[in-house]
Structure 1
Amino acid sequence: MKKLSTLNRLLILIAALTLIPAYFTPLWQISLWAPQYPEGLNMKIWIDHLSGNVDQINGVNHYIGMKHIGDEMFPEFEYLVYVIAGMIAFGVLAFGIGRRWALYSFFGLITLFGMLVLADMYRWGYEYGHHLDPTAAIKVEGMSYQPPLIGYKELLNFLAYSGPDTGSWILIGGSALLIFAILRDRREKPTMI
């Protein structure tokens, strides 16, 4: 079984290193706009904490019975730093191994991680927007307040946006490098893994 080309190995290494900014940049953002908040309210989700207008969002959401948002409601913050470190290590190992199966395994790991994160975000948004306090001051029969997973959604008089932030865009760029390496490798060696 032949080794990967030098360029493909470097693409694996760069893709692994693009995971490092996840420790220093926000990964996700949720923003809200309404007539009373024309400048918007923004919450940033980092690898281990929340930042932004979390207190103001909690104040608004209290009236419709949504739970208080805080770092404690995300158990993922406890272990995500280790998961990312493990993926960086796996990517560096894949670079060192330099075989096709290592490239595909690293890409599979990154893809699985992305799918699990999106599923977890959807689950959180669903629970947050559907399990409301029945004694809330404002009740709209049949209304749920699940934020969008990705994109925009109208919730009463608010326009909500949810989507990737700086860190996720860098991770997506790293994934694109892996796809490029896979395409190059298939062109060079179209059959065996």
Structure 2
Amino acid sequence: MNGNLNNYSMYTLIAAAITMFSTLFLPWWGMKFFAPQYPEGLDIIVHPNTLKGDIDNINGLNHYIGMKNFSNDTFPELTYFPYLVIGFAVLLLIAAFLRKKAVLLGLIVIYAISGILGIWDMKRWLKDFGTNLDPSAPIDMEPFVPPVLGKNVIANFTTYSSFHIGGYLLGLVFILMIVAFFLSYKTKKKEQTL
């Protein structure tokens, strides 16, 4: 099997690098809270370098159940995510111009492991926030763990967790890497049979 990537793979990797870089400017994930007193909902929106949304309102409510405040300082990952994104986008460009399948395969493995660790880290933080409640809080609440994706109901609050456009684009980057790998393999094999 030829170890080189073809032009189609190179262009696909360049597209993956551009897509990766674009996620710096887009939200990755979020939670929306609904309650009778908040029919329009309250948002926490996670960008790669900051939290946005109705953070102050949510922290005010969380005080009553003894949950820690949401803030940029609470999530140290937000300080280095942008560097990881830029670094991986650069690696994709390097792989595109080196045109070596082994390099691309290594990046695919690293990206897959990073994605798994990222989801695990989100679950860890959600568990920490939902189960380490202050016992002296005004309202006694049973510990709970909001889901990374999906619906959760606690007291009179219904929460929906979902990826946002940046999160979906991170998934697209992985798909583009897989496509780049197999595009080159299939076209090289086709050329050998002619």
| TM > 0.5 fold call | yes
State the partner residue of 1:105: 106
| RMSD of Structure 2 on Structure 1 (CA) | 1.6
Deviations 1:164-188 (A, max 9, x none): 1111112212222122223334434
More divergent stretch after superposition (8-17 vs 124-133): 8-17
Report the residue type matching 1:181 in the other structure: A
State the partner residue of 1:148: 147
Contact 1:64–1:132 (Cα < 8 Å) also in 2: yes
Secondary structure of residue in 2 paired with 1:69: coil
Ranges of 4+ aligned residues in structure 1 off by more than 4 Å: none
Determine what percentage of the aligned residue pairs are the same residue.
32
Contact 1:67–1:128 (Cα < 8 Å) also in 2: yes
State the partner residue of 2:156: 157
More divergent stretch after superposition (155-164 vs 35-44): 155-164
Distance (whole Å) between structure 1 residues aligned to residue 64 and residue 45 of structure 2 = 22
Q: Cα distance, 1:52 vs. partner?
A: 0.5
Deviations 1:75-111 (A, max 9, x none): 1122112111111111111101111112212222221
Report the residue type matching 2:106 in the other structure: S
* 2:147 equivalent to 1:166: no
Distance (whole Å) between structure 1 residues aligned to residue 127 and residue 184 of structure 2 = 40
Q: Identify the structure with the greater helix proportion.
A: 2
Contact 1:12–1:103 (Cα < 8 Å) also in 2: no
Distance (whole Å) between structure 1 residues aligned to residue 188 and residue 158 of structure 2 = 49
Secondary structure of residue in 1 paired with 2:65: coil
Q: Residues 53-72 of structure 1 correspond to what in structure 2 (within 5 A)?
A: 53-72=54-73
State the partner residue of 1:32: 33
Distance (whole Å) between structure 2 residues aligned to residue 145 and residue 71 of structure 1 = 22
Contact 1:12–1:92 (Cα < 8 Å) also in 2: yes
| TM-score of the pair, normalised by structure 2 | 0.90
Contact 1:28–1:168 (Cα < 8 Å) also in 2: yes
Deviations 1:117-172 (A, max 9, x none): 111111100100000001011113xx223221111111222111112111111221
Report the residue type matching 1:144 in the other structure: P
Q: Number of aligned pairs?
A: 188
Secondary structure of residue in 2 paired with 1:144: coil
Report the residue type matching 1:182 in the other structure: F
State the partner residue of 2:81: 80
Distance (whole Å) between structure 2 residues aligned to residue 17 and residue 108 of structure 1 = 20
| TM-score of the pair, normalised by structure 1 | 0.91
State the partner residue of 2:175: 176
State the partner residue of 1:18: 19
Secondary structure of residue in 2 paired with 1:159: strand
Contact 2:3–2:102 (Cα < 8 Å) also in 1: no
